[in-house]
Amino acid sequence: MPAFVNQLPIGLSIGAVLLLIALGLTFTFGQMGVINMAHGSFIMAGAYTAYLIGDLLLALPAAFLVAGLMGLVLERAAIRHLYARPLDTLLLAWGVSLVLQQLARDLFGAPNVQVPAPAWLAGGIGILPYNRLFIMALAVAGVVAVWAYLTRTGLGRRTQAVVQNRRLAATSGIDTGRVDMLTFFIGSGLAGVAGVAVTLIGPVGPALGEVYIVDAFLVVVAGGLGQLRGAVLAAVGLGLLNSYAEFWSDASLAKVIVFAVIIAFLQIRPQGMFVLRSRVLT
Amino acid sequence: MLELRDVTVEFDGFRALDGVDLTVPEGELRFLIGPNGAGKTTLIDVITGLTRPAAGSVRFGGHDLVGRKEHQIVRLGVGRTFQTSVVFEELTVIENLDLAAGFRSPLWSLARRRKGVSEAVAEALARTGLEELAERSAGVLSHGQRQWLEIGMLLAQRPRLLLLDEPVAGMSKDERARTGELLTEIARDHTVVVVEHDMEFLRRHASTVTVLHEGKVLVEGSVEQVGADPRVQEVYLGRRKAEDVVGNRP
Amino acid sequence: MNRPRGMPVLRSRVLTSIRRHVPFAAVAVVALVAAPLLLEPFRLGLLAKYLCYAIVALGIGLAWGKGGMLTLGQGVFFGLGGYSMAMYLKLTEAEGGLPDFMGWSGVEELPALWAPFANPVFALGMAVLGPVLLAVVLGTLVFRQRVRGAYFAILTQALAAAMVILLVGQQGLTGGTNGMTNFFELFGQDLADDSTQRGLYLVVASVLGLLYLGTRQLVESRYGRLLVAVRDGEDRVRFLGYDPALVKTVTFALSAGMAGLAGALFVPVVGIISPALLGIVPSLELVVAVAVGGRHALAGAVLGAVVMGYAKTAFSEQFADGWLYLQGALFILVMTLAPKGIAGLVGRLRNARAA
Please indicate if any CB of chain B lies within 8 Å of the CB of C129: no
Of the pLDDT bands very low, low, confident and very high (cuts 50, 70, 90), residue A46 is very high
A195-205 pLDDT, tens digit each: 999 898 888 88
Shortest distance, CA C221 to any CA of chain B (angstroms): 4
Longest dimension (CA), chain A: 59
Distance of CA B239 to the CA centre of its chain: 25
Q: Is C94 exposed, middle or buried (0-12, 13-18, 19+ CB in 10 A)?
A: middle
Is the pLDDT at C169 greater than 80? The verdict is: yes
Average pLDDT taken over every residue of chain A: 82
What is the extent of the structural domain holding B132?
2-246
What residue type is assigned to position C347 of the chain?
A: G
Contact across the interface for A255 and C141, Cβ inside 8 Å: no
Per the DSSP assignment, residues forming a β-bridge with B9 are B17
* H-helix or E-strand spanning residue A241: helix A228-248
Q: Which of A214, A256, A257, A267 to mutate to test the interface with C (most CBs of C within 10 A)?
A: A214
A179-195 pLDDT, tens digit each: 888 888 988 999 999 99
List of chain C residues whose C-beta atoms are within 8 Å of the C-beta of residue A77: none
Given this model, what pLDDT does residue C10 score?
62
C275-325 pLDDT, tens digit each: 988 988 889 889 988 988 888 888 889 988 998 888 888 887 777 667 778
**CB burial string A235-262: b at 16+ within 10 A, e below:** bbbbbbbbbbbbbeeeebbbbbbbbebb
Is the pLDDT at C6 greater than 60? The verdict is: no
Shortest distance, CA C335 to any CA of chain A (angstroms): 6
B137-176 pLDDT, tens digit each: 888 888 888 888 988 998 898 888 999 888 888 888 888 8
Contact across the interface for C222 and B89, Cβ inside 8 Å: no
Measured between alpha carbons, how far is A143 from A141 in angstroms, rounded to an integer? 6
Query: Between residues 144 and 183 of chain A, which touch chain C (CB distance below 8 Å)?
Result: none
Measured between alpha carbons, how far is C274 from C174 in angstroms, rounded to an integer? 9
- Torsion angle, alpha carbons of C190, C191, C193, C199, to 10: 100
Is the pLDDT at A207 greater than 70? The verdict is: yes
Quick one: how many helices (H) and strands (E) in chain A?
11, 2
The domain limits of chain A are: 16-206
Give the count of domains, chain B: 1
Contact across the interface for C223 and B111, Cβ inside 8 Å: yes
Please indicate if any CB of chain B lies within 8 Å of the CB of C240: yes
Please indicate if any CB of chain B lies within 8 Å of the CB of C87: no
- CA-nearest of A13, A208, A10, A18 to A113 is A208
- CA-nearest of A7, A1, A21 to A254 is A7
Residue B77 near residue B85 (C-beta atoms within 8 A): no
Q: Mean per-residue pLDDT for C101-116?
A: 79
Given this model, what pLDDT does residue A272 score?
64
Please indicate if any CB of chain B lies within 8 Å of the CB of C322: no
List of chain A residues whose C-beta atoms are within 8 Å of the C-beta of residue B11: 277, 279
B100-145 pLDDT, tens digit each: 888 888 777 787 777 778 888 888 888 888 888 888 888 888 888 8
A127-176 pLDDT, tens digit each: 778 888 888 899 999 889 888 888 888 888 887 777 777 778 777 777 77
Q: How many other CB atoms are found less than 10 A from the CB of residue B148? A: 26
Residue B98 near residue B107 (C-beta atoms within 8 A): no
Name subunits touching C (3+ CB pairs < 8 A).
A, B
Find the closest chain C residue to A222 by CA distance.
C151
Handedness of CA A122, A123, A125, A131 (dihedral sign): positive
Is the pLDDT at B62 greater than 90? The verdict is: no
Shortest distance, CA A1 to any CA of chain B (angstroms): 45
Given this model, what pLDDT does residue A274 score?
56
Please indicate if any CB of chain B lies within 8 Å of the CB of A279: yes
- CA-nearest of B96, B98, B122 to B110 is B98
More confident call, B8 vs A269? B8
Given this model, what pLDDT does residue C354 score?
67
What residue type is assigned to position B26 of the chain?
A: E
Given this model, what pLDDT does residue C122 score?
92
Size of interface A-C (CB pairs under 8 A): 124
Closest CB to A281: pick one of B11, B12, B82.
B82
A64-73, B78-87, C343-352: range with highest mean pLDDT:
A64-73
Of the pLDDT bands very low, low, confident and very high (cuts 50, 70, 90), residue C250 is very high
Q: How large is the angle between the packed helices A2-32 and A154-164, nearest 10 degrees? A: 80
Closest CB to A99: pick one of C153, C159, C325.
C325
Percent residues over pLDDT 70 in chain B: 94
List of chain C residues whose C-beta atoms are within 8 Å of the C-beta of residue A89: 335
Which residues on chain B place their C-beta less than 8 Å from a C-beta of chain A? 11-12, 50, 82
A214-268 pLDDT, tens digit each: 888 888 888 876 677 888 888 888 888 888 887 777 778 888 888 888 888 888 8
Is the pLDDT at C178 greater than 90? The verdict is: no
Size of interface B-C (CB pairs under 8 A): 76
Is the pLDDT at B237 greater than 70? The verdict is: no
Is the pLDDT at C7 greater than 80? The verdict is: no
Given this model, what pLDDT does residue A279 score?
35
Q: What is the CATH number of the domain that holds B83?
A: 3.40.50.300
List of residues 6+ apart from C20 with CB closer than 8 A = none
A56-60, B162-166, C52-56, C143-147: range with highest mean pLDDT:
C52-56
Given this model, what pLDDT does residue C25 score?
76
Write the DSSP assignment of B99-142 as a string of letters. Answer: HHHGGGS-GGGGGS---S--HHHHHHHHHHT-GGGTTSBGGG--
Closest CB to C332: pick one of A96, A101, A251.
A96
Given this model, what pLDDT does residue C3 score?
47
Residue C218 near residue C224 (C-beta atoms within 8 A): yes
Contact across the interface for A277 and B11, Cβ inside 8 Å: yes
What is this structure's pTM?
0.88
Shortest distance, CA B171 to any CA of chain C (angstroms): 22
ipTM: 0.85
Percent residues over pLDDT 70 in chain C: 95
Strand B78-80 to strand B29-33: parallel, antiparallel, or no bridges (unpaired)?
A: unpaired
Residue A153 near residue A34 (C-beta atoms within 8 A): no
List of chain C residues whose C-beta atoms are within 8 Å of the C-beta of residue B95: 225
Given this model, what pLDDT does residue B249 score?
39
Please indicate if any CB of chain B lies within 8 Å of the CB of C242: yes
Per the DSSP assignment, residues forming a β-bridge with B64 are B59
| Alpha helix positions (H), chain C | 7-29, 35-38, 41-60, 74-94, 100-104, 120-144, 149-169, 171-174, 194-220, 222-232, 234-238, 244-270, 280-293, 298-318, 322-337, 341-354
Is the pLDDT at C31 greater than 80? The verdict is: no
Given this model, what pLDDT does residue C71 score?
92
Measured between alpha carbons, how far is C336 from C339 in angstroms, rounded to an integer? 6
